[in-house]
A and B are shown apart, each in its own frame.
Chain A
Amino acid sequence: MVLGRAFEDKCAKMYYDRKMLGFVHLYNGQEAVSTGFIRLLKQQDSIVCTYRDHVQALSKGVSARAVMSELLGKATGCSRGQGGSMHIFSRKHNMLGRFAFIGEGIPIATGAAFTSKYKREVLKEADCGHVSLAFFGDGTCNNGQFYECLNMAALWKLPIVFVVENNLWAIGMSHLRATSVPQIYKKGPAFGMPGVHVDGMDVLKVREVAKEAIGRARRGEGPTLVECETYRFRGHSLADPDKLRDPAEKAHYAARDPITALKKYLIENSLANEADLKAIDKR
């Protein structure tokens, strides 16, 4: 989480120094979701995200250097500079990419889950309990492809977890203004899968829910829809003036910063002390 936050802050600095171009979407504030889920995965499990996911790549194991090089358009980047900020791919880490169009990644992740099942049942390959995770936001939950895939994943019992990072805002469109039934987790049971809501600012709570959902998928019990209530501290992208969000709302979530919260937890429960944490920050 700390690496993610530091990375994103560095991106912001480079963007404002005009060293980085194009669209850059930062993840500050949402680190708990990424860490909570992805750290439970094996290398062969795959993730698909949208454009806001430098940190998902880092969590999955892609080196920070490769991601930063890609953002700077260098040939040493993970896609040799051909993809850019919105299109981080890594075959080795089974990070199937980040898709610029919201909703685009969901069928792809569903396809990866389909392949896992196909390899096990049709090709009879051993060791195929691979799971797929699709990360997307609240805005995506109003998109047709989301529903098409909830249906097919449940219909064919695919090993996938749909992770909604509900940060309440789709650029400047408030989730409440855009959605008839804002409780996204309720949409899972409508398609025959469990829908779970979790506090996305608390990494330990996220991890618990993630464990259960990933376990379900691995056991062949089918998909789960997990709604993580979270918040992004910065604007939609570095070009977003972010005028529509109420400062009080921002302050409320800033007080629930996942990194500060975990630090507090670790110290209170004597799992680590100040010195250990300072050492992590330094790295």
Chain B
Amino acid sequence: MLAIARQRMLGQSFKKILPAVSVLRSYSSAAKQITVREALNSALDEEMSADPKVFLMGEEVGEYQGAYKITKGLLEKYGPERVLDTPITEAGFTGIGVGAAYYGLKPVVEFMTFNFSMQAIDHIINSAAKSNYMSAGQISVPIVFRGPNGAAAGVGAQHSQCYAAWYASCPGLKVLSPYNSEDARGLLKAAIRDPDPVVFLENELLYGESFPVSDEVLDSSFCLPIGKAKIEREGKDVTITAFSKMVGYALKAAEMLEKDGIYAEVINLRSIRPLDRSTINTSVRKTNRLITVEEGFPQHGVGAEICASVVEESFSYLDAPVERIAGADVPMPYAANLERMAVPQVEDIVRAAKRACYRSVPLAATA
């Protein structure tokens, strides 16, 4: 009882201090806004400039300026030997990238969407991920596989799958998924500098979104650690984990929940493998409730892994069953109204959080 009162007082005083701090911060670093696209482009540019062994390959990355314009301007700046337009041969060019990485070059291979990575998945897993182990450390593979992942808008079943869970289950790979511009810059730089194969899952719908970034983020040496999640919003009643686009949804849900007196703590995973189990468990031990959110298929998903981790490490702290919000267990439909039902929406997250907090909620339109 007293503990709760103390928490509430601390929470309120925290809120009083925060506005002042953020005002000071904005004066000293005039928070600039950049899109995720600009963040990725600048990260690639800076890393290519710093290390001549970094090169790009993929379909349309050069003369077309990138299928989603992420590699805009890089062909003109670095030339066709470092920005390679490939034929449409994912298996072939991914293998070539891995072979080049065996020899110490640092390829950044773009998949137009990660759905096409399935044509090359043998090389990602068998040639890249497993080689360091199979060769007992003799071969290391400093390669980055990047591209848009997950659902876009009305692109149908073969262009909408989320690959986070599949890649993250494989030892030997690192799997990252940025949300905002700071994430995009910091994580892509970390991925390029990393000596191991990294799968970098972007989101097409986030490319055009702007986020404020500090001067520190804009500096060319900026880098985020791999394997660390970020607490985007602090709270005390329920923990919500998410990655990529769903972080935005979780934050909106948290705002709505606050009006009903539920203070949600939103964790931006950033790194799917290695998963920041420590941050997640610490948060759950504080809030006692957990909602996991992801866009991908529910079975064997990221949320399932997080739930298992929490059950293994923090079972006695849970006051309610873990809820996982995921995409519908169906290939992505095309029609806009069906698509909306197949992907988590903000309302789904709000409802789940309320259920976890024992509030009565109306039944969802979809099961």
Task: Determine if B102 is an interface residue (Cβ-Cβ < 8 Å).
Answer: yes
Of the listed stretches A90-98, A161-169, A196-204, chain B binds A90-98
Given contacts A79-B135, A112-B100, 5 further A-B contacts (CB under 8 A): A87-B134, A87-B135, A89-B136, A101-B126, A107-B93
Task: Determine if A142 is an interface residue (Cβ-Cβ < 8 Å).
Answer: no
Known contacts A107-B91, A115-B105; is A96 also within 8 Å of B81 by CB?
A: no
Tell me, rounded to whole Å, the shortest Cβ–Cβ distance linking B22 to chain A: 45
* A115 engages B104 (CB within 8 Å): yes
The range of chain A's interface size is 35 or more
Query: How far does the alpha carbon of A106 sit from the alpha carbon of B92 in the complex, in Å?
Result: 8
Task: Determine if B261 is an interface residue (Cβ-Cβ < 8 Å).
Answer: no
Task: Determine if B334 is an interface residue (Cβ-Cβ < 8 Å).
Answer: no
* B99 engages A111 (CB within 8 Å): yes
Task: Determine if A242 is an interface residue (Cβ-Cβ < 8 Å).
Answer: no
Query: How far does the alpha carbon of A82 sit from the alpha carbon of B101 in the complex, in Å?
Result: 21
Task: Determine if B351 is an interface residue (Cβ-Cβ < 8 Å).
Answer: no
* A107 engages B96 (CB within 8 Å): yes
Tell me, rounded to whole Å, the shortest Cβ–Cβ distance linking A117 to chain B: 9
Residues of B within 8 A of A111 (CB): 95-103
Task: Determine if B131 is an interface residue (Cβ-Cβ < 8 Å).
Answer: yes
Nearest to B79 among chain A residues (CB) is: A122
* A152 engages B91 (CB within 8 Å): no
Query: How far does the alpha carbon of A46 sit from the alpha carbon of B86 in the complex, in Å?
Result: 24
* A107 engages B92 (CB within 8 Å): yes
* A104 engages B127 (CB within 8 Å): yes
* A89 engages B135 (CB within 8 Å): yes
Task: Determine if B53 is an interface residue (Cβ-Cβ < 8 Å).
Answer: yes
* Complex interface residues of chain B between 63 and 120 (CB less than 8 A to chain A): 81-82, 86-87, 89, 91-105
Residues of B within 8 A of A122 (CB): 52, 55, 81-82
Tell me, rounded to whole Å, the shortest Cβ–Cβ distance linking B260 to chain A: 54
* Complex interface residues of chain A between 48 and 93 (CB less than 8 A to chain B): 48, 78-80, 82-83, 87, 89-91
* A152 engages B139 (CB within 8 Å): no
Tell me, rounded to whole Å, the shortest Cβ–Cβ distance linking A152 to chain B: 6
Nearest to B55 among chain A residues (CB) is: A118
Query: How far does the alpha carbon of A116 sit from the alpha carbon of B307 in the complex, in Å?
Result: 47
Of the residues B52, B103, B138, contact of A79 by C-beta under 8 Å: B138
Residues of B within 8 A of A121 (CB): 81
Query: How far does the alpha carbon of A149 sit from the alpha carbon of B92 in the complex, in Å?
Result: 6
Of the residues B98, B104, B133, B135, contact of A108 by C-beta under 8 Å: B98
Tell me, rounded to whole Å, the shortest Cβ–Cβ distance linking A208 to chain B: 28
* B91 engages A148 (CB within 8 Å): yes
Known contacts A83-B135, A112-B102; is A107 also within 8 Å of B95 by CB?
A: yes
Residues of A within 8 A of B53 (CB): 123
* Complex interface residues of chain A between 135 and 168 (CB less than 8 A to chain B): 144-145, 148-149, 151-152, 155
Nearest to B137 among chain A residues (CB) is: A80
Query: How far does the alpha carbon of A148 sit from the alpha carbon of B96 in the complex, in Å?
Result: 10
Of the residues B96, B97, B102, B103, contact of A149 by C-beta under 8 Å: B96
* A96 engages B99 (CB within 8 Å): yes
Tell me, rounded to whole Å, the shortest Cβ–Cβ distance linking A133 to chain B: 13
Task: Determine if B122 is an interface residue (Cβ-Cβ < 8 Å).
Answer: yes
Known contacts A79-B138, A152-B86; is A108 also within 8 Å of B95 by CB?
A: yes
Known contacts A99-B127, A114-B96; is A152 also within 8 Å of B87 by CB?
A: yes
Task: Determine if A30 is an interface residue (Cβ-Cβ < 8 Å).
Answer: no
* B123 engages A107 (CB within 8 Å): yes
Tell me, rounded to whole Å, the shortest Cβ–Cβ distance linking A239 to chain B: 21
Residues of B within 8 A of A38 (CB): none
For the complex of A and B, 6 pairs with smallest distance between CB atoms: A111-B99, A107-B95, A148-B92, A89-B135, A108-B99, A91-B138
Residues of B within 8 A of A119 (CB): 103, 105
Task: Determine if A225 is an interface residue (Cβ-Cβ < 8 Å).
Answer: no
Task: Determine if A34 is an interface residue (Cβ-Cβ < 8 Å).
Answer: no
Per-residue interface assignment for chain B, residues 244 to 270, with 1 indicating a CB less than 8 Å from any chain A CB and 0 otherwise: 000000000000000000000000000
Task: Determine if A109 is an interface residue (Cβ-Cβ < 8 Å).
Answer: yes
Query: How far does the alpha carbon of A46 sit from the alpha carbon of B91 in the complex, in Å?
Result: 21
Query: How far does the alpha carbon of A244 sit from the alpha carbon of B131 in the complex, in Å?
Result: 35
* A114 engages B99 (CB within 8 Å): yes
Tell me, rounded to whole Å, the shortest Cβ–Cβ distance linking A86 to chain B: 9
Per-residue interface assignment for chain B, residues 126 to 148, with 1 indicating a CB less than 8 Å from any chain A CB and 0 otherwise: 11000101111011000000000
Nearest to B84 among chain A residues (CB) is: A156
Of the residues B81, B89, B98, contact of A151 by C-beta under 8 Å: B89
Tell me, rounded to whole Å, the shortest Cβ–Cβ distance linking A220 to chain B: 14
Tell me, rounded to whole Å, the shortest Cβ–Cβ distance linking A90 to chain B: 7
* Complex interface residues of chain B between 168 and 225 (CB less than 8 A to chain A): none
Nearest to B89 among chain A residues (CB) is: A148
Residues of B within 8 A of A108 (CB): 95-96, 98-99, 102, 127
Residues of B within 8 A of A100 (CB): 126
* B86 engages A90 (CB within 8 Å): no
Residues of B within 8 A of A149 (CB): 92, 95-96
Residues of B within 8 A of A78 (CB): 136
Query: How far does the alpha carbon of A77 sit from the alpha carbon of B136 in the complex, in Å?
Result: 10
Nearest to B86 among chain A residues (CB) is: A152
Residues of A within 8 A of B134 (CB): 79, 82-83, 87, 89, 97
Query: How far does the alpha carbon of A271 sit from the alpha carbon of B171 in the complex, in Å?
Result: 54
Tell me, rounded to whole Å, the shortest Cβ–Cβ distance linking A79 to chain B: 4
Nearest to A75 among chain B residues (CB) is: B136
Query: How far does the alpha carbon of A83 sit from the alpha carbon of B136 in the complex, in Å?
Result: 8
